[in-house]
């Protein structure tokens, strides 16, 4: 079946006692495939579904972010989380990971092209590293990782969340599966900035649920 078991196409009829059957996979791309075997008395089928993908399928993934995603501060470039992810994906040549992250960037830098920026902010949208440019790669996945620079500039919670919403909605409307990381711990001397980080963290988890990736738990001390 290629439609979650709603319809079935016969593969073969084989004599009793055959313990192994070599099957030529059909040239039908589907994310909803199942196989079943049945006799006059017994029937068994795959648990869940599997995917059949054409050989020319391509899965671009784009990361939007700042210094953490760019790999700033790691002892070796291949130790950054994006490069570790890329190395893991390289086992399957269909995947292509495009990293548009740049150190120092805030949520304003990655907004959709043409989005108005508050006049009091000296920030310009980077049209070579924002969500609009990310969608030019026709990605299957967009992952947003803006962990602490907004708090560093004391950008209010509501403004950060509004920016995230614009980026995530643009990604989803552009056909991508959008994911977002929480804030991450950073040593601020200003306790208000730490509180800002924690509030945005909780808000991201609440708003985006399973689409939120935890960059806090296991990294932060009790003081944030």
State the average pLDDT over residues 88-104. 91
- How far from the centroid of its chain's Cα atoms is residue 114's Cα? 24
Residues 201-216 pLDDT 10s:
999 999 999 999 999 9
CA–CA separation, 149 and 160 (whole Å)? 11
Taking residue 11's Cβ as centre, other Cβ atoms within 10 Å add up to 13
pLDDT at residue 25, rounded to an integer: 83
Q: How far is CA 111 from CA 155, 161, 206, in A?
A: 15, 12, 21
Choose the weakest-confidence range: 17-26, 75-84, 127-136, 205-214.
17-26
What pTM was computed for the model?
Answer: 0.75
What backbone phi and psi angles, to 5 degrees, belong to 209?
A: 50, -125
């Amino acid at each position: 079946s290629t439609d979650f078991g709603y319809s079935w196409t016969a593969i073969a009829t084989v004599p009793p006692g055959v313990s192994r059957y070599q099957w030529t996979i059909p040239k039908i791309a589907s994310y909803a495939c199942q196989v079943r075997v049945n006799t006059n008395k017994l029937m068994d089928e795959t648990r869940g579904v599997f995917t059949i993908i054409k050989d020319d399928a391509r899965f671009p993934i784009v990361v939007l972010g700042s210094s953490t995603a760019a790999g700033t501060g790691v002892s070796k470039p291949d130790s950054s989380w994006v490069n570790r992810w890329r190395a893991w994906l390289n086992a399957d040549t269909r995947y292509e990971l495009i990293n548009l992250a740049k150190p120092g960037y805030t949520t304003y830098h990655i907004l959709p092209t043409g989005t108005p920026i508050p006049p009091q902010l000296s920030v310009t949208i980077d049209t070579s590293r924002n969500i609009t440019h990310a969608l030019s790669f026709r990605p299957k996945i967009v992952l947003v990782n803006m962990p602490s620079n907004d708090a560093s500039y004391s950008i209010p919670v509501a403004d950060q969340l509004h920016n995230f919403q614009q980026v995530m909605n643009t990604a989803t409307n552009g056909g991508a599966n959008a994911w977002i990381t929480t804030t991450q711990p950073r040593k601020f001397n200003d306790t208000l900035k730490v509180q800002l980080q924690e509030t945005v963290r909780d808000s991201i988890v609440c708003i985006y649920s399973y689409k939120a990736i935890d960059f806090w738990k296991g990294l932060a001390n009790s003081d944030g």
